[in-house]
Chain A
């Protein structure tokens, strides 16, 4: 039965692959996860004269969604954010990244605006500090202003739920 050996090894390999599929290698703890959100002063996208400190939301947890009008994948996740906004479950803050004010506002007007605040980052400087790697990217920030989780790429229902669970778990443990 020596000839059975290749088949047996193959089955073991398949089992490992199957387990591997249930894990997400992108869940690599990003260097900023567990670190406080950098505090900077940014313009509000919608009202040109307002500036906001990125620390203004400390006290409540929120989702920081990095988006741009030129980004097609942002459109893909947009309906989920709209849905989440109507549920009032958790505030959503937008970081408009490397964009022009005009294009960004047009985009929000056309596709709906789920954001409580929209921070305007035309040069991408703040995004750089956050280690934004590609748009869309979403950070989950807890009530102490600490980044708890980061998601690269468009969101879906499952990973939103997962990330909110992470936020809640952290909060319960710190209470």
Chain B
């Protein structure tokens, strides 16, 4: 009975989505206020219906209802409760339901803050979100219904993929989808703005907070995924340039460009084309990602089980939604009266260059990800593109980006001079050089030149940001949240770069054979293999080895890497033993058993690897800070006022 309620709610949600897609937009074309006003109740009703549906699916999993085929395929009564709940989004059907739930939640949130928006623009935004929701609900119901029954029920469920039985999986997909799907909001703003010819400063001001929130979530989601891969896959890597990782990374990169471009459109009412195009393409990349992950056109460790009908559906949907939006864009003619561009040396020029660099970086990732598919489509064979390609093309694009961040955030709007800018840059530059050379010399005299290079660039960003922040605080006598948020995010980015630089330059790895009781010295630590014993968990058996790690004068850690065989079969899972630390991780993965006492073992020392994720958290935190919650009320009043005058002039026109 419970699954039927969920199914029914989903069908109702589909009809509500159809209304939400049609009624407000028709109202906007006819100028019928009463139809446009329906946007809000329809969006809210849809959210309630999808939430109901989602909750019933959770209940089916908690009760392990084996008449529901999706539960049978992904859960098991021996699975711990946490994983039974997270198994809801552990495979295609349920994660798609999570997708639409989050989309409707974003739309619901939009209806809470729609006060400043003109009625027509708002009706179009909600209508466009309704179209997207309609498409995905149709997709869920017709190709991927999580409420399908199996009669008669099997004796037991198949169990959740062991790789996914982990805390990381509980939180990673929801975070990621919050970001992915969140970019639907700027997308809807962009298309609605084009339809109403209302791409202007006010539009940029409205769309900015939504973009920042989506970007922050996506960044956190990616970081969580990276962290999960690090400890769960047992390879010790934190990023693999896997097609599915790239699928989430591309919207983030382009979303970064979008955030910066929006600021220029807001402040100077220029770059309108560019901002709108970025908003459309960013969400387009989210949909492309969905297509790549769920259609089976690319192989990846993350790809879902596939069915060709699903691929065809998403592709058609992608073609209609993004193709339609790009067509609208093609016919867009902005107001003739554009503010003139400032001089070559100005904040906006730096921001434009930044946008271009980030877009090129996105394009290289897209090319690398799609290259195997294109070669296959052209009948030229099967190839795979790996990390060497991405490292070769991606890193050189990040270097100028880091240099520009340091300069750009110090540049004045409209007009700046080379002399003033170099004056502003000289102390940060000096500090960078001293500190970078100092640390570089201290670490090791055979240090790779790449390490120095990465450190210099990252420290440059940090010092330059700090100098800018101090100067800004002195002149305005208070902390302005958008500026503070920007500084936090830039420093976060630099910290991530430091982490990547240090772990890839100074990380140590050793494969060896160890027998019980043996001690080995590696990377300045003593590792004692105390022994291995059998273990058994709720749904797996395995072996746990104990290692005691000492540094020169003290006990560092007791690590217990495991190998697990889940009852549901499949590969053996490796659980790495990790002793985390800000300055270094000690990471042990258990390999194969050689004989009764000997094991193959992999030891890793990962210096400063935590900085990679710490930086990512700071970036997201900066974005949230920039929203300006609890900002001085005076400024928000002022901006509201200027906003009102803006709209009144529009109306009088």
Contacts and interface: CB of A to CB of B under 8 A. Distances in A.
- A and B from one complex: yes
Nearest to B295: A21
B296 A98 contact: no
B571 interface: yes
16 contacts: A3-B273, A3-B330, A6-B281, A6-B330, A10-B284, A19-B377, A21-B315, A23-B297, A25-B296, A25-B297, A26-B299, A70-B568, A71-B569, A72-B72, A133-B570, A135-B569
A14 B318 contact: yes
A23 B376 contact: yes
A20 B568 contact: no
Q: Which of A6, A10, A17, A23 has the most C-beta atoms of chain B within 10 angstroms of its own C-beta?
A: A17
Nearest to A12: B374
B471 interface: no
B304 to A, nearest CB: 12
A26 B303 CA distance: 11
A68 interface: yes
B315 A17 contact: yes
B377 A20 contact: yes
Given A25-B299, A28-B382, A134-B570, A14 B154 contact: no
Contact of B373 (A3, A20, A134, A135): A20
A24 interface: yes
Which are the 8 A-B pairs with shortest beta-carbon distances? A19-B377, A72-B158, A20-B297, A7-B326, A20-B373, A25-B299, A21-B311, A3-B330
A89 interface: no
B222 to A, nearest CB: 23
B308 interface: yes
A103 B564 CA distance: 23
A18 B377 CA distance: 9
Interface in A1-57: 3-4, 6-7, 10-11, 13-14, 16-21, 23-26, 28
B154 A72 contact: yes
A135 B280 CA distance: 41
B376 A25 contact: yes
Nearest to B382: A28
A17 B291 CA distance: 9
Interface string B311-354: 11001001100110011011110000000000000000000000
Interface string B278-314: 0011001000100100011111000001001001100
Interface in B170-210: none
A75 interface: yes
Given A6-B280, A68-B569, 5 more contacts: A6-B281, A7-B327, A13-B288, A17-B297, A72-B72
Interface residues of B, number: 45
A7 B330 contact: yes
Contacts of A75: 154
A153 interface: yes
Interface of B: 72-73, 154, 156-158, 273, 277, 280-281, 284, 288, 291, 295-299, 305, 308, 311-312, 315, 318-319, 322-323, 326-327, 329-332, 370, 372-374, 376-377, 382, 567-571
A53 B624 CA distance: 66
A2 to B, nearest CB: 9
A98 B200 CA distance: 64
A13 B373 CA distance: 11
A70 B158 contact: yes
Contacts of A23: 297, 376-377
B373 A14 contact: no
A73 interface: yes
Nearest to B567: A70
A7 B284 CA distance: 12
A14 B323 contact: yes
A82 to B, nearest CB: 16
A62 interface: no
A126 interface: no
A70 B569 contact: yes
Nearest to B297: A20
A70 B312 CA distance: 32
Nearest to B308: A21
Nearest to A15: B377
A139 interface: no
Nearest to A107: B155
A120 interface: no
Nearest to A24: B296
Contacts of B311: 21
Contacts of B284: 10
B312 A6 contact: no
Contacts of B318: 14, 17
B315 A18 contact: yes
Contact of A153 (B305, B308, B374): B305
Contacts of A140: none
A7 B157 CA distance: 46
A110 to B, nearest CB: 10
Contacts of A11: 323
A71 B72 CA distance: 10
A97 interface: yes
Contacts of A20: 297, 373-374, 376-377
A70 B570 CA distance: 12
Contacts of A14: 315, 318-319, 323
A14 B326 CA distance: 13
B379 to A, nearest CB: 9
B567, B570, B571 interface centre (most CB from chain A within 10 Å): B570
A11 B329 CA distance: 14
B308 to A, nearest CB: 6
Nearest to B307: A156
Nearest to B333: A3
Contact of A73 (B158, B295, B312): B158
Interface in A73-100: 73, 75, 97-98
Contacts of B156: 70
B73 A72 contact: yes
A124 B570 CA distance: 10
Contacts of A26: 296, 299
B507 to A, nearest CB: 30
Interface in A108-137: 124, 133-135
B401 to A, nearest CB: 23
A6 B297 CA distance: 23
Contact of A16 (B277, B281, B370, B570): B370
Nearest to B374: A16
B40 to A, nearest CB: 32
A97 B480 CA distance: 64
A134 B275 CA distance: 46
Nearest to B310: A21
B323 A7 contact: yes
Nearest to A6: B326
A11 B326 CA distance: 10
Nearest to A18: B315
B191 to A, nearest CB: 13
Contacts of A134: 569-570
A104 B374 CA distance: 44
Contacts of B370: 13, 16
Contact of B377 (A16, A73, A98): A16
A94 B567 CA distance: 20
A58 to B, nearest CB: 29
Contacts of B273: 3
B299 A28 contact: yes
A10 B72 CA distance: 39
A148 to B, nearest CB: 18
